[in-house]
């Protein structure tokens, strides 16, 4: 049995510094595309002062993200960070397509209670908008992870709730 697992990050954990807060063994192995899912925002996060990212099934859509290799001993800390025990997210095993066209089995997290997918993230309902500070962290992580330029542009078109103040994260996010 392997001593590590592969993890697909599409939200704030795109930024390695953020993931390392609770998962110091994480090593970025590249980026990839999760097919037949769409990025969305739903659950209000007190930590981030706005809606948190999720993935929702949608045929023909895709979500870009970073692929990390993490020691198995950090599964509990990653689950804790994602709120698994509070029924905020649940883990899935998915096939992520790499830039080279290969597929990698990865652990990913999806929110437990997802509304129907929002087709236009530039026009999210107010209660589903992420905070500006959270969305900017995702954008920084996307650039750090070398996600495709058109996907980074897509992230810049997502509406936020305007909040850009302090958040409850044990790291300096600036």
Among 82, 144, 149, 166, the one annotated catalytic: 82
Would you state the torsion angle of the CA atoms of residues 20, 24, 25, 26, taken in this order, to the nearest 10 degrees? Answer: 0
Give the burial string for 15-48 (b: 16+ CB within 10 Å, else e): bbebbeebbebbebebbbbbbebbbbbbbbbeeb
Report angle CA 8, 121, 90 to the nearest 5 degrees. 35
CA–CA distance, 106 with 91 (Å, rounded to integer): 10
Given a contact cutoff of 8 angstroms between Cβ atoms, the answer to whether 67 and 52 are in contact is no
Tell me whether strands 103-111 and 50-71 are parallel, antiparallel or unpaired: unpaired
Annotated catalytic residue 97: no
Provide the annotated active-site residues.
82
């Amino acid at each position: 049995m392997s001593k590590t697992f592969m993890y697909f990050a599409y939200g704030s954990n795109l930024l390695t510094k953020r993931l390392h807060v609770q998962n110091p063994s994480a090593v970025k192995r590249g980026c990839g595309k999760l097919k037949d899912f769409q990025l969305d925002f739903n659950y209000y996060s007190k930590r981030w002062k706005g809606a948190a990212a999720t993935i929702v099934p949608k045929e023909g859509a895709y979500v870009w993200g970073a692929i990390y290799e993490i020691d198995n001993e950090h599964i509990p800390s990653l689950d804790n960070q994602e709120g698994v025990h509070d029924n905020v997210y649940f883990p899935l095993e998915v096939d992520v397509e790499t830039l080279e066209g290969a597929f990698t089995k990865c652990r990913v997290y999806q929110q437990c209670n997802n509304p129907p997918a929002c087709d236009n993230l530039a026009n999210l309902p107010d209660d589903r908008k992420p905070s500006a500070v959270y969305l900017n962290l995702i954008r920084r992580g996307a650039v750090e992870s070398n996600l495709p330029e058109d996907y980074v542009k897509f992230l810049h078109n997502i509406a936020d709730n305007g909040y850009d103040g302090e958040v409850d994260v044990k790291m300096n996010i600036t």
